[in-house]
A and B are shown apart, each in its own frame.
Chain A
């Protein structure tokens, strides 16, 4: 540690950090633009100028940019010196020469870092007499608005999009005072991380387009801390509401997980909450088949009456742990199915089994970024867990920091580090059936069918066991993993193959026995897959559906069974079994159920998800939904109560969550502050900002009386602006980021122990399984894992390989309108060889045996001949596909892309 004297006061600072980092880590105010804790320093904006004195005698000092100055012990600087403050105010004056005064109509207004910095430096009077420069903006697709006139040329956008996230289609164009940031031509930004531009841009150049379409100022939003339901990473998010509608999702800083960035599925995938396909009332299907919505009290009574001792409960990996628990308790463990298909459940069981065995660690994303050699086995993480892929991309740069340190380039000097390291990267091996968006940084990649991937995993294991091995790929992987300090193996549930996961575990355990800090990630499919797998149930999905087919009743918790089994099987189950379905949005399962109850979405309830690390995290209700919408566990509590099961008739979230904790994991009690939490002084934490406006007017067209705000018995938050958001409360209980003088998301540093470090109140979540990295003894070779290749595909047939698409494969986000605009038409991926053989080209249509609808052909350069990649969740009746299919050309197929083009052409 070094001592730095800032304006006469001594502070502790990390030696080798840059001065801006040190200043902000003391939570002092110093304006900046181009620096970003994750993107480093480049020295472009010249905003963070301070005076540095060269010795004890020096009274004049010299101007330095804090972000480009190394911290050294005993250094003396001034933020307040007149020359520095004047310079900083002049920088703003320069930036304001061309910045439009359109704050009142700008989407960034009220949370604009440029506004904050302008006020902070004191610049107010315009002296520049010239005209402002103007630009023609681009259409960047459904997610991102573009308003170049507001640009202050900090280069953050391209540094995030290209350098950090590996994007290829956003660039800096032009020079001098005609710098333009955009695409080569109009068109949708390709990267699945494009949405972060909204938060990275310090002003209103890149804005959230869906949010802008029903715009609300930040200060008028009611928000709560939440957890993204889009995949199993559990990125922390803020969910914000106005007028009963979810308006937007933004990143909520978590030091070990998502840090400053989330993916676009997370950011734009929540508009299903506002969908007109929402179920808002309870309903029942009458004898004649007609469905009617009615008084929920009567329908609950009728439904409750239909329950018996043998009623089946099918849970859901997208429902909260508490609702799943409530269902399990109501129907009994022996009648409870977690709602995940068997093969995937086997994979999850293998994963939890491995975690309990230990002999590796499960890394947080922060730790992924420190993993110096990585093998990805079978899982296309850019599509199934995009935030992990973003961290893998950072891990590939570890060597560049080592090289830079060797050349005495500070690690935070971003351009210097990148320029010096050039294309040096850490070993990354990608073994997946088709190409991935990490291939550009992969040392080597390999493809093949699931069996071939298992073969690769076995070969790698042989290399680790120092056995003879012919596969060059496996030798390269094995040697790289052996040479690493923190080798990481990533696999997942997509291929639904247990052997692959056990082999990945064996590789990690072997490395660990060799004394390495080995790591393993198995990516579950959905937000709470691991949570429900840990909860467990006595019934497999096949058995549950069988029993329903033979006429037994079932409660279906937030689960569209058509996504999990073939339509033939589900049809039969729903026709014969009398179902009580709870869900938030209409789907095929609901339309065939007898009773329907409106379940709250994640944004309208409080609950717990368990992520890939087994980290249990609390998401809090952001707002009260319209209609008779309740968290599923509340409906289940009512059924229990009507059946005399008082021990299950919980009245508050506290009740169900502590019952769940007591019956499963004690730690769940400590995941987040409970409803009785009070700040010093006795207040709760407000969901609404202190500047929330319109409170008395927003309902005046309905009633001139302002309704009393609901007393929240479930959480530490209020549905009002009363209370405080003091920044040092529990890290899980931050409803929005704001600090005096810092209205934008840049205020997050006031909530951190150190810039880019842990939250003051701790990073949220508790891991339910403590994985010990004690070496486990080598097990006897497992014959089951030496899978031989399956039967040859018959002539002309294709073996189906499941693929994933970040926009479309996830159930709920694909109901969100911005995501729908980004989704492709249903497609099928084949190899170059097969395309040539069948004379197919990309964009043509093919008939697929077993499907009514034709699919658009895509060609993948890495897919092997004989394989057909089928995107999960995007094809009607896709679950009914056989494992081997036949293809033939559909001459009448019209590609949706060409239809879109036609629409555009006609204006």
Chain B
């Protein structure tokens, strides 16, 4: 049994201990999924297969990929191109999974995108890449050249009547570009502000044309589904969610890192087994399960399986699946302040609650942390969590995301906040 059977995403990387070249990729069955899709299946059949595999978007929202593709299938309403876009603007704090995939297994992404483009019949595709990802940029471009030379991109891909041009667009660098409609605006050369929905991108995306945007890891899951079928993929998951997932851990553990594990692996197993437990002298107090914009989970949640539905019902989101740990030496107020500083700085400036509300939250947290907090500050924070946190209170989900760690910190670590104000200092600082 090959490592690829349990680790379709990075098994080959682990076997080789680094970059998977085109030769390595092809020799382990690479591009056979795309070839099968293009030469033996209709676009509808590909979409159905992906739908049956129950692949969910790995960017954080967990939207079923097959269903998304289905929105853009068939002839567009008005004549013109369709676009496929890969969201590779990985800027979520604590998240580095897409980078790993692109840097070490670029052909996997390309193969996934070929299949996706064929499924929705898009002949132009873009990879919107985080501006700081220099190494992935190099690897992707090299891999695209190789794919072109070997007839897997360009005119008549795999010899069939289907052309695909794939381009890498290096982002100007804003967190908001990870929001798919802000990404499309940035791709068009406009201000990176999100768009109002509707219209959703499958109806009107890049340059007003039907567009599908998927995350890097999502595309990377597709080739194995084509190769091995929907049932095989479903069986990989331990819970209702299918496939494998790149889980990551950062914080004071013995072995921070990234592992491809079956979907639904319990949190404690990820931390204790794969990250080899907390460093000596540190106790885990809480964690953000999938990036900075997810609610804290605490002790009572640590035995839960990491999948979309379970984490959601625990009041948080699995998000990107790369968790940030908060041990008992870290001040929760300071951690929130740090996070809100990030979110305030990365607001696009379009809507009022986000543009003006998050900086106020940051200012209050800064005051509290530095001992200048006042009675009543926590109520203002509560109010912000409620007013900014509502789903349609703000223009996009940036600000509600920013409130997730705050509102859960206010819930789980409220005593810490109160002690700061009472003592007029941060109890974590000597």
Contact = CB atoms under 8 A, between A and B. Distances in A.
Interface of A: 42-47, 49, 62-65, 68, 86-87, 90-91, 94-95, 97-98, 127-130, 152-153, 155, 172, 174-179, 403, 406-409, 413, 415-416, 419-422
B2 interface: no
Contacts of B151: none
Nearest to B363: A130
A620 to B, nearest CB: 41
Given A175-B174, A420-B204, A94 B353 contact: yes
B204 A419 contact: yes
A178 B185 CA distance: 20
Interface of B: 77-78, 174, 185, 191-192, 195-196, 198-199, 203-204, 207-208, 344-353, 355-357, 359-360, 363, 367, 376, 380, 383, 387, 390-395
Which of B195, B347, B356 has the largest number of chain A CB atoms within 10 A? B356
Nearest to A127: B380
Contact of A42 (B196, B353, B367, B380): B196
A44 B351 CA distance: 4
B387 to A, nearest CB: 5
Contact of A47 (B198, B352, B376): B352
Contact of B355 (A90, A176, A406, A422): A176
17 contacts: A42-B196, A46-B395, A62-B391, A91-B353, A94-B356, A95-B352, A97-B359, A128-B363, A153-B349, A153-B352, A155-B350, A175-B192, A179-B349, A407-B77, A409-B198, A413-B196, A420-B208
B392 A94 contact: no
A65 B392 contact: yes
Contact of B352 (A44, A129, A175, A422): A44
Given A46-B394, A87-B387, A130-B360, A176 B352 contact: no
A86 B357 CA distance: 14
B204 A409 contact: yes
A95 B357 CA distance: 9
A416 B349 contact: no
A828 B46 CA distance: 66
A155 B351 CA distance: 10
A407 B356 contact: no
Question: Secondary structure of the B side of the interface?
Answer: loop
Contacts of B394: 46
A63 B390 contact: yes
Contact of B195 (A127, A408, A419): A419
A94 B357 contact: yes
Which of A44, A47, A49, A178 has the largest number of chain B CB atoms within 10 A? A44
B425 to A, nearest CB: 18
Nearest to B353: A46
A87 B380 CA distance: 13
Given A46-B351, A64-B392, A176-B349, 11 more contacts: A45-B351, A46-B394, A87-B393, A90-B383, A94-B353, A94-B356, A155-B350, A408-B199, A416-B196, A416-B198, A416-B199
A403 B79 CA distance: 12
Given A62-B392, A94-B353, A175 B387 contact: no
Which of B78, B207, B344, B352 has the largest number of chain A CB atoms within 10 A? B352
Nearest to A400: B208
B195 A43 contact: no
Contacts of B198: 408-409, 416
Given A46-B395, A49-B393, A409-B204, A128 B360 contact: yes
Which of A42, A155, A408, A419 has the largest number of chain B CB atoms within 10 A? A419
Contacts of B360: 94, 97, 128, 130
A416 B351 contact: no
Given A62-B392, A90-B383, A406 B350 contact: no
A98 B359 CA distance: 11
Contacts of A155: 350
Nearest to A47: B352
B392 A176 contact: no
A904 B315 CA distance: 63
B176 to A, nearest CB: 8
Nearest to A171: B191
A406 B77 contact: yes
